[in-house]
Amino acid sequence: MERQILIYDTTLRDGTQGENVGFSAEDKVRIARKLAEFGIHYIEGGWPASNPKDSRFFELAGRESFRHSRLTAFGCTCKASLRPDEDPNIKALLGTGVETVAIFGKSWDFHVTRLMGIGLEDNLAVIEESVGLLKANGKEVVYDAEHFFDGYKHNCSYALQTVRAAARGGADIIVLCDTNGGTLPNDLREIVKKVIPEIGKTIGIHAHNDCGLALANSLAAVEEGAMLVQGTVNGYGERCGNADLISVIGNLQLKMGLACIAEDKLSRLTELSRFVSEVANIPPDNLRPFVGKSAFAHKGGVHVNAIMKDPRAYEHIDPTAVGNRRRVLVSDLSGRSNIRYKAKELGAALEGKGEGTEKIVAEIKRLEDQGYQFDAAEGSLELLIKKTTGQFHEPFRLESLRVTIERDGTGNCVSRATIKISVGKEYEITAAEGDGPVNALDNALRKVLRKFFPSIDEMRLVDFKVRVIDGSDGTAAKVRVQIESRDAREVWSTLGVSENVIEASWLALVDSVQYKLSKEIKGKTA
């Protein structure tokens, strides 16, 4: 490793400015704990002067220990009409009790004269005096030079004067901000190269993603000498977001040979990304580099054949290095290599040297032509492989079902399902109500199976999706239903396809239950 790069997380402040991103004070504490456990150097908790929630966060965080991470409070320079010691924002920063504070100031003369309505010299005084007061109170000060790159391109002399003012005030770290996210990497690189010798302070980079360049700009700044990178987990942030620290860390450590976190923490990168996604209540992006579900997924038969010989053929790193895993997908594009790999992974034996794979491939292609999509439903895929190879023992058989929906004059709607099944030579019939037809089917199926398979109570349906495969037939169109279920050990997805949404739901539901029960039966016979 050449040198240590500091990671500054602003998920809890800048990240919450993104659309549909929001955290309670308690959520923020949970995320801050996770960031500290992972080894993030700076955790920006919020802007205490801007809202009660951030003030409450710092109250709660004061009872926590964040180990070697520095909890940081964010704010702005004082108003030009006030002395720093009179400014409510500065007082709020000092009132948090944290050792590190970050303040932003204006670098673009356009903002100073047009938006703030003060003189250029007045702005320089505000920056220097605000930083100076915080330093006089014993704080480590991170100064964010807002709109620095736009300001530099418009008036390089004045932009430099603003960061020099922060340096004179005693700022420990000066962060150059591409606040509008519109700077190209080559332009940013040249500016950073010129600025660093002028300042004589630790320089950081804060990049937004409005042109899809936040990661590239962050890495370019580091290559030119920046020692700190600001960003957010999963790239959350205003407009198009901030630099994604997940990709920043992966590239710095694994590609550029620069230390930014402890080596033994890197394998928790995927866990960190998914944890923050879960707390934010935002579905994980399957295409996210390094940690996405699809980041190491292989579908084409040629690719799978190659990675079976050597994964380096189609993988830029070992997925386990970041806590991810390799996935081989099966679809109508699959070849025999996909099936052999998948069968081995699922514990399904193939005869001889894999005879029977052609039959499996043909069945998958037939079903995908009807609307199935097995790369999104590995539970149904495992059942298909075992059924096709004669390794599946059906736990129960449906004899009949009926679903009714009644709506009374008061607007109340009740769904009822009646199911008859057979388990071996025994027959059972039962009925149940539900909030909708699928819920009623689920309740009835669980009720009738509980006698034979008590473990059914361990299983929970966690997601239900319906997609029209081809809308040209209107309400008679074929639909695909995908159900995601889980128990204490795993999560699995299953599919059903039909012109009738109830039947499609039933098919997906039965696959989900049979997947669960097949694991139980296998465990008992092993």
CATH code of the domain in which 489 resides: 3.30.160.270
pLDDT(427) > 50: yes
**Looking at the 3D structure of the chain, how many domains does it have?**
3
Beta carbons within 8 Å of 493's beta carbon, 6+ residues apart: 376, 377, 378, 379, 380, 482, 483, 484, 485
- Give the span between the Cα atoms of 213 and 13, in whole angstroms: 21
Are 168 and 72 in the same domain? Answer: yes
Of the residues 388, 420, 454, the one at which a domain ends = 388
- Give the span between the Cα atoms of 33 and 356, in whole angstroms: 51
Are 11 and 126 in the same domain? Answer: yes
Residue 292 lies in a domain: no
Q: pLDDT value at position 341?
A: 76
pLDDT(522) > 80: no
How many Cβ atoms are within 10 Å of 209's Cβ, its own excluded? Answer: 22
Beta carbons within 8 Å of 353's beta carbon, 6+ residues apart: none
Higher pLDDT, 400 or 340: 400
Are 239 and 351 in the same domain? Answer: no
**Three-point CA angle 79, 82, 84, nearest 5°:** 85
Q: pLDDT value at position 346?
A: 67
> What percentage of the chain exceeds 70 in pLDDT?
94
Are 366 and 403 in the same domain? Answer: no
Residue 269 lies in a domain: no
Tokens representing 366?
């037939």
Q: What is the pLDDT of residues 370-394, one digit of tens each?
A: 888 887 788 888 888 888 888 788 8
Are 301 and 226 in the same domain? Answer: no
Of the residues 353, 369, 388, the one at which a domain ends = 388
Residue 491 lies in a domain: yes
Question: pLDDT band for position 348 (50/70/90)?
Answer: low
Are 401 and 375 in the same domain? Answer: no
Q: pLDDT value at position 524?
A: 47
Are 381 and 417 in the same domain? Answer: no
Q: pLDDT value at position 391?
A: 79
- For residues 217 and 187, the answer to whether their CB atoms sit within 8 Å is no
Residue 290 lies in a domain: no
Are 228 and 355 in the same domain? Answer: no
- For residues 324 and 291, the answer to whether their CB atoms sit within 8 Å is yes
Residue 490 lies in a domain: yes
Highest mean pLDDT among 240-244, 354-358, 420-424: 240-244
CATH code of the domain in which 135 resides: 3.20.20.70
Residue 286 lies in a domain: no
pLDDT(408) > 80: no
How many Cβ atoms are within 10 Å of 392's Cβ, its own excluded? Answer: 17
Q: pLDDT value at position 477?
A: 78
Residue 217 lies in a domain: yes
Q: pLDDT value at position 409?
A: 72
> Nearest-CA neighbor of 58 among 12, 22, 9?
12
- CA distances to 267, 408, 433, 439 from 413, in Å: 49, 7, 11, 13
Lowest mean pLDDT, pick from 7-11, 155-159, 266-270, 453-457: 453-457
Q: pLDDT value at position 390?
A: 80
Are 130 and 190 in the same domain? Answer: yes
Kindly report whether the global pTM for this prediction surpasses the value 0.85.
Answer: no
> Nearest-CA neighbor of 459 among 513, 495, 392?
513
- Give the span between the Cα atoms of 74 and 244, in whole angstroms: 20
Q: What is the pLDDT of residues 228-286, one digit of tens each?
A: 999 999 999 999 999 999 999 999 999 999 999 999 999 999 999 999 998 998 888 98
Q: Can you state the angle between helices 301-309 and 336-346, rounded to 10 degrees?
A: 60
Mean pLDDT of 313-323: 96
Are 401 and 382 in the same domain? Answer: no
Q: Can you state the angle between helices 501-525 and 378-388, rounded to 10 degrees?
A: 70
Q: What is the pLDDT of residues 115-132, one digit of tens each?
A: 999 999 999 999 999 999
Q: pLDDT value at position 331?
A: 65
Are 105 and 203 in the same domain? Answer: yes
Q: Which residues of 431-450 are buried (b: 16+ CB within 10 A; e: fewer)?
A: ebebeebbbbbbbbbbbbbe
Instruction: For the chain, give the mean pLDDT.
Output: 90
Q: What is the pLDDT of residues 47-106, one digit of tens each?
A: 999 999 999 999 999 999 998 899 999 999 999 999 999 999 999 999 999 999 999 999
Q: pLDDT value at position 195?
A: 97
**Three-point CA angle 113, 175, 2, nearest 5°:** 155
How many Cβ atoms are within 10 Å of 84's Cβ, its own excluded? Answer: 22
Q: pLDDT value at position 168?
A: 97
Residue 273 lies in a domain: no
Domain that includes residue 478, residue range: 397-525
- Give the span between the Cα atoms of 96 and 103, in whole angstroms: 14
pLDDT(1) > 70: no
Q: pLDDT value at position 283?
A: 83
Are 326 and 435 in the same domain? Answer: no
Of the residues 338, 359, 388, the one at which a domain ends = 388
